[in-house]
Amino acid sequence: MDQKLQMAGTQSQLEMGSLAVNESLHEFEDESLFSPESVIQKMQPGHISEYGSAPGGFQPGGSEMGKNVVYKSIKTVVFSNKLNALIPFGPLTILVHILTGHNGLVFLLSLLGIIPLAERLGYATEQLAMYTGPTVGGLLNATFGNATELIIAIYALRNGMIRVVQLSLLGSILSNMLLVLGCAFFCGGLVFYRKEQVFNKASATVNSGLLLMAVMGLLFPAVLHFTHTEVHYGKSELALSRFSSCIMLGVYAAYLFFQLKSRKDPYIPLSEDESQHGENEDDHDETPEIGKWESVIWLLIMTAWISILSEYLVDAIEGTSRAWNIPISFIGVILLPIVGNAAEHAGAIMFAMKDKLDISLGVAIGSSTQISMFGIPFCVVVGWIMGKPMDLNFQLFETATLFITVIVVAFFLQEGSSNYFKGLMLILCYVIVAASFFVHEDLPPEDKSSTP
């Protein structure tokens, strides 16, 4: 009897002990499940330490996990955007070029094929910037923000098509300032037609000042050339362009430092109250959708694919001009900017319709500032390295168009508010610019190949 009681006591103690162990295990699991470190690790893409590894470094199903990561990455990057339906036009471009060699068709197909790649390049850059912090992220956005335009420009520069480089970069500025910003104001004004949308006037003023400085950099070489007041004909203009380009690059670097160090987020209006400030910070505090190295790999893939299609695009420009009976100036200023600005166009409209005009301005005016103060001077320096006489003399007609556009947009931004009527006026201004370049015959520039 005593033995039975002893065995029963021992069994009850074992049951109580197992219950205690189970409770402690559950508590440990709860703590590990809801601890901030584990939550952060689970939010980070590519984190597989919980399921993909075991003690001692043994990784069961490692190849299967790798396949799942690749599948998830492809699904996120390639199949999550409707614009990616245009991606097949890229391989079709190469096929048509090999089989027919029809320049007009190759140009059209490559134009359509580059549009989704440019958007995905921007997406990969944004994802990588989330891992690098604000400073490096800002530099990444500055480098890859208009990478499509720069890749096309460098290929054209390598082929000696200096006017195509100048016209495409000029067209990208005009498209962002008039068409993209105009559509953002117009669509945002229609959604919020009962009120005037407001944006940060201080940030818009800084960008307007930079754009005017870029106009000044383009104006002096043109005036120097057409007034025939060069000290050394054909050399002073090029030397001034290269000197001004170095200054503009320095100013843009200082502008980046000012934006990244002086303010936490340049897209948050200074005049808003603290609650709105906190709300906007929450909007920008997003979780990356793909891993850091996935972003790098996709960035390289998109850049390489854009480079391949850009070569076909540039080679087909002159043939397309003859086949379609369209001036090269119209192709460079109006058609080529569609490639790089399609994604920005959609993004600016989307943010404006959510009453986030500061972000729309950052997309439209910020991109124009980036091209004028970084893209154009960068191409001059690259041409200098290549031995190509790329300068800042964009000819009088083009320089005057840019000057008037900057003045008009600066007047529209000075009040710090927008409505659909302002957007409509900007869109119609772009229609006038497009019509002007359609009837504008671009005279061949004087030969500068003899200049050093």
| Per-residue pLDDT band at 433 (split at 50, 70, 90) | very high
Element (H, E) at 198: strand 197-198
| Element housing 221 (H / E) | helix 201-226
Higher pLDDT, 202 or 433: 433
Q: How confident is the model at residue 281, as a pLDDT?
A: 46
Is the pLDDT assigned to residue 377 strictly greater than 70? yes
Strand partners, 418: 197
> What is the chain's length?
452
Q: Is 7 exposed, middle or buried (0-12, 13-18, 19+ CB in 10 A)?
A: exposed
Residue 141 pLDDT: 67
> Half-sphere exposure of residue 290, counting CA atoms within 13 Å on the CB side?
27
The CA angle 112-117-123, to the nearest 5 degrees, is: 140
Give the pLDDT mean for 29-40: 39
pLDDT for res 202: 85
- Pick from 290-294, 322-326, 402-406 the range whose average pLDDT is largest: 402-406
Q: Is the pLDDT of residue 450 over 90?
A: no
Identify whether the C-beta of residue 111 lies closer than 8 Å to the C-beta of residue 313. Answer: yes
Which amino acid, one-letter code, is at 197? Q
When pLDDT is cut at 50, 70 and 90, the band that residue 268 belongs to is very low
Q: Which of 150-159, 226-235, 442-451 has the weakest average pLDDT?
A: 442-451
Whether pLDDT at 350 is above 50: yes
At residue 49, does pLDDT exceed 70? no
CA distance 231 to 236: 6
In this prediction, residue 121 has a pLDDT band, given cuts at 50, 70 and 90, of confident
Q: Choose between 41 and 162: higher pLDDT.
A: 162
Judge whether 182 and 425 are in contact, CB under 8 Å. yes
More confident residue, 181 or 56: 181
Q: What mean pLDDT do residues 341-355 have? A: 80
Confidence of residue 248 (pLDDT cuts 50, 70, 90): very high
Q: How many CB atoms lie within 10 A of CB 187?
A: 18
Q: Letter for the amino acid at 301?
A: I
Comparison of pLDDT for 95 and 77, the residue scoring more: 95
Task: Count each helix (H run) and each strand (E run) in the chain, helices first.
Answer: 19, 2
* DSSP code of residue 414: T
> What is the value of pTM for the model shown?
0.75
pLDDT of residue 346: 77
- 269, pLDDT greater than 70: no
Any bridge partners for residue 417, and if so which? 198
**Which DSSP helix (H) or strand (E) runs through 197?**
strand 197-198
Residue 220 near residue 232 (C-beta atoms within 8 A)? no
Backbone angles phi and psi of 137, in degrees to 5 = -60, -40
Q: What tokens does 200 get?
A: 């940060």
Q: What is the pLDDT of residues 61-72, one digit of tens each?
A: 557 777 788 888
Residue 36: which pLDDT band, with cuts at 50, 70 and 90? very low
> Is 17's pLDDT higher than 70?
no
% residues pLDDT > 90 (the chain)? 31
For residue range 294-336, list pLDDT tens digits in order. 888 988 898 889 889 988 988 898 889 888 889 888 998 998 8
pLDDT averaged over every residue in the chain = 78
